[in-house]
Structure 1
Amino acid sequence: MDIFSKIKEKLSHEFIDIVEWLDYSDDTIAHRFERYQNEIKNGAKLIVREGQTAVFVNEGQLADVFTPGTYDLTTQNLPILTTLKGWKYGFNSPFKAEVYFVNTHLFTDEKWGTKNPVTLSDERFGLVEIRAFGTYAFKIADAGKFIIDIVGTDNNFTNFEINEHLKSLIATRFTDTVGEANLPIELYAANTSELSETCQEVMKPEFLSVGISLEKFYIENVSMPEDLKKEIFEYSRIDKLDLDKLTKFKTAKAIEAAAKNEGGTAGAGMGMGMGFVLAQQMGGMMGGNMNMGQQQGFPKAGGTAVPPPIPAAVQYFYAVNGTQQGPVSFEQLGTLFANRTINRDSLVWKQGMANWTALQEVEELKSFLGGNTPPPLPGA
């Protein structure tokens, strides 16, 4: 073999004949085909397997993109690179270009979560804080855009490198979405499926802007402080109960608690007040039974004259969350005020009033506001 044949044989081994990517792990998204100082031979075979896309880049500029298949790398199969290189038809020399293989399979079970609590405004509970976490799945939809915009010159790009960016994007858009949803606070935890679908639709365009397709998005849990949970549960129970029955129940509980508080002045005062209310209610029931007995022909007690019936007590209606409640007696209204079911700004109405009026503006109800202290004596 002459010297020229040896040189030709040596040079032929420096040219790449097959361009392919075999060794990749589940977390690798993009891998740059390493040539070292070798050049790709014109007519070399490019093998792109299922779940891969091959991207040719020339001096930082996107050239040709190949989907799964086997290709002969010629000027016919590299039209964009041929134009960028200024090759003429029939070019038959080795060439250099960066080749990236992109993993296009679905990356699943990626975790996300809110690093800080999300502050929301609720009509009943004011400013509240919630946290959320879940999973998402994505895949590369536009390999060329992903290589240019995200990967750059990284020779082995993994999903760990992109996850921090995606999690920050998800947390930001989740905060925006739940803020605009303006749902009652208790519905966030109860409607995670609908909220997940809405968030996914909101986030899709931003993922696609860098060549990524958001395939799945799940909110697994929406959490809130324990004291807020207790308030929500209590509110939901009250909302389902008859307020009149609830008031009587709480009155009985207050009397029981006051009785246990031996020697406690405040407890005794509360017990007496509640006892008066309960006694009046029971007296009214007993009086009603006596009148009914007389109407049915039973003799009057002791044969003495029976006084006329006591005038009917004034009945009040009140509003809670825009809903009319009642009627209740003056004492029951006082108990509702003491239990903070209503407040000084709550609207009330009784027979004879032209319109609904704030409690604090009704003369006989001002005693609820703590105005029971008499004015100073004249000349004091």
Structure 2
Amino acid sequence: MGLFDEIKKKLSHEFIDIVEWLDDSQDTIVHRFERYQNEIKNGAKLVVREGQQAVFVNEGQLADVFGPGTYELTTKNLPILTTLKGWKYGFNSPFKAEVYFVNTRLFTDEKWGTKNPVMLSDDRFGLTEIRAFGTYSFRISDPGNFVINVVGTDSNFTNYEVNEHLKSLIVTRFTDTVGEANLPLELYAANTSELSETCQEVMHPEFERIGIDLEKFYIENVSMPEELKKEIFEYSRLDKLDMGKLAQFKAAKAMEAAAKNEGGTAGAGMGMGMGFVLAQQMGGLVSPAPVAATGAAAQQAAPPPIPQLAYFYALEGKQQGPVSFERLGELFAARSINRDTLIWKQGMAAWTALSEVDELKSFLGGNTPPPLPGA
């Protein structure tokens, strides 16, 4: 390129007197107006369209900001830049400054989600993990602040770039919020609307600090591992059940399993005997009270119920009781005691773990009970 061409190019750029940005994209948030050596002619026309603001920056320092409209760039309407440059009244030479056009429209349906599970502590289930995702919408509320603190010298700052920054901020604040909410685990998925509003209130100052207005924030789904979900469902059902009846039901299932495992005639006979005992323990819930037998039939009638023994148990180092067999089953079903709880009754030489007491093994499920008296 010859010297004449170089001078011609310089002059053609230097004396362009219209500064504007026609946005032909869907994702550009900030666009830097490009011209030769950053020179703008004094008296040039600045055109700012609806949904835009123009930010003037001088050597990394925020100067003047213009909203929608058409302006003549002079010392009169560039007061901050005039002060920074030290211009005198009537200045009429080209000047250098960076001009950034900021898109101030509402950006909607932006996606967010937790890349890694969020750890929560629950009183009933211990440490658990949840994941969440949703959408949010935002707009640039303070273009000057946003350009200086986020954009920097990027000539074409896109929606993707700001979203990467915002998603990290969202996940951090979401984790803090759900941790401090201290809700029962099953309520997180059932209260997404209330949780969304709380998260938005918490995040709004953080967005505002960098010149962004968080218009909407939605949590669309809160998920957890399948095994934990099943455990929560089971717990919710147990919470509605009569613990005494539940203990009797579990004992019945254990007896049925034991009878099937024995097999043959002996197993069937044992199953029948245990069935009669269970019917009497459940107070007629399984079948109606039998009609009194007479004659030869009386000899084959069911044996009388097993005497209700009195049991003592240890809880937090203290002796509790005495309680009946049924009450002990209720305590086990309600998790007040467990398989390692120490048990004593009359005739036992020493305190013994519940899982080692023969007639109490039915609480554990799937164990064969001891033979009936006289068998």
User: What TM-score, normalized to structure 2?
Assistant: 0.75
Q: CA deviation at 1:260?
A: 2.9
2-side partners of 1:225 and 1:119: how far apart? 12
User: What residue in structure 2 maps to residue 32 of structure 1?
Assistant: 32
User: Residues 372 and 171 (structure 1 numbering): CA distance in 2 closer, same or farther, change over 3 Å?
Assistant: same
8 A Cα contact 1:313 1:329, kept in partner: no
User: What residue in structure 2 maps to residue 144 of structure 1?
Assistant: 144
User: Residues 283 and 82 (structure 1 numbering): CA distance in 2 closer, same or farther, change over 3 Å?
Assistant: closer
The unaligned stretches of length 5 or more in structure 1 are 1-6, 294-309, 319-327, 347-358, 374-380
8 A Cα contact 2:309 2:345, kept in partner: no
Residue identity in the other structure for 1:238:
L
User: Residues 176 and 272 (structure 1 numbering): CA distance in 2 closer, same or farther, change over 3 Å?
Assistant: farther
Residue identity in the other structure for 2:115:
K
Q: CA deviation at 1:242?
A: 2.2
Matching of residue 330 in structure 1 with residue 324 in structure 2: yes
1-side partners of 2:165 and 2:189: how far apart? 26
Q: CA deviation at 1:371?
A: 5.4
User: Residues 33 and 162 (structure 1 numbering): CA distance in 2 closer, same or farther, change over 3 Å?
Assistant: same
8 A Cα contact 2:248 2:329, kept in partner: no
2-side partners of 1:72 and 1:180: how far apart? 53
Q: CA deviation at 1:16?
A: 2.1
Residue identity in the other structure for 1:27:
D
Deviation per CA, 1:262-300, whole angstroms, max 9, x where unpaired? 459xx99x9799658515426899xx989xx9xxxxxxx
8 A Cα contact 2:310 2:325, kept in partner: no
8 A Cα contact 2:133 2:219, kept in partner: yes
SS at match of 1:177: helix
Deviation per CA, 1:182-235, whole angstroms, max 9, x where unpaired? 111001111111111111111111111111111111111111111111110011
8 A Cα contact 2:173 2:202, kept in partner: yes
Deviation per CA, 1:157-197, whole angstroms, max 9, x where unpaired? 00111211111111111111111111110011111111111
Deviation per CA, 1:85-121, whole angstroms, max 9, x where unpaired? 1001111222121100000111111111111111111
The unaligned stretches of length 5 or more in structure 2 are 1-6, 293-304, 314-321, 359-375
User: What residue in structure 1 maps to residue 179 of structure 2?
Assistant: 179
SS at match of 1:261: helix
Q: CA deviation at 1:360?
A: 4.5
Say what the alpha-carbon RMSD is for the aligned residues.
Answer: 3.7
Describe how 1:196-211 pairs up with structure 2 within 5 A.
196-211=196-211
Describe how 1:277-288 pairs up with structure 2 within 5 A.
278-281=278-281
- Aligned residues with identical type, % of pairs: 75
User: What residue in structure 2 maps to residue 352 of structure 1?
Assistant: none
2-side partners of 1:255 and 1:225: how far apart? 33
Residue identity in the other structure for 2:194:
E
Matching of residue 66 in structure 1 with residue 66 in structure 2: yes
Describe how 1:81-120 pairs up with structure 2 within 5 A.
81-120=81-120
2-side partners of 1:230 and 1:216: how far apart? 33
Residue identity in the other structure for 2:354:
L
2-side partners of 1:276 and 1:330: how far apart? 19
Residue identity in the other structure for 1:149:
N
User: Residues 74 and 256 (structure 1 numbering): CA distance in 2 closer, same or farther, change over 3 Å?
Assistant: same
Describe how 1:250-261 pairs up with structure 2 within 5 A.
250-261=250-261
1-side partners of 2:103 and 2:231: how far apart? 49
SS at match of 2:42: strand
8 A Cα contact 1:120 1:127, kept in partner: yes
2-side partners of 1:283 and 1:239: how far apart? 23
SS at match of 1:43: coil
2-side partners of 1:332 and 1:241: how far apart? 16
User: What TM-score, normalized to structure 1?
Assistant: 0.74
SS at match of 2:16: strand
SS at match of 1:42: coil
1-side partners of 2:140 and 2:134: how far apart? 21
User: What residue in structure 1 maps to residue 336 of structure 2?
Assistant: 342
8 A Cα contact 1:41 1:95, kept in partner: yes
User: Residues 149 and 254 (structure 1 numbering): CA distance in 2 closer, same or farther, change over 3 Å?
Assistant: same
8 A Cα contact 2:48 2:67, kept in partner: yes
Q: CA deviation at 1:343?
A: 1.5
User: Residues 34 and 283 (structure 1 numbering): CA distance in 2 closer, same or farther, change over 3 Å?
Assistant: closer
User: What residue in structure 2 maps to residue 20 of structure 1?
Assistant: 20
User: Residues 156 and 13 (structure 1 numbering): CA distance in 2 closer, same or farther, change over 3 Å?
Assistant: closer
User: What residue in structure 1 maps to residue 295 of structure 2?
Assistant: none
**Alignment partner of 1:369 out of 325, 347, 354:** 354
Matching of residue 234 in structure 1 with residue 230 in structure 2: no
User: What residue in structure 2 maps to residue 131 of structure 1?
Assistant: 131
User: What residue in structure 1 maps to residue 47 of structure 2?
Assistant: 47
Between 276-285 and 216-225, report the one with greater CA deviation. Answer: 276-285
SS at match of 1:191: helix
Between 253-262 and 106-115, report the one with greater CA deviation. Answer: 253-262
Deviation per CA, 1:33-91, whole angstroms, max 9, x where unpaired? 01124732211111111110100001111000001111111111000000001001111
Residue identity in the other structure for 2:133:
F
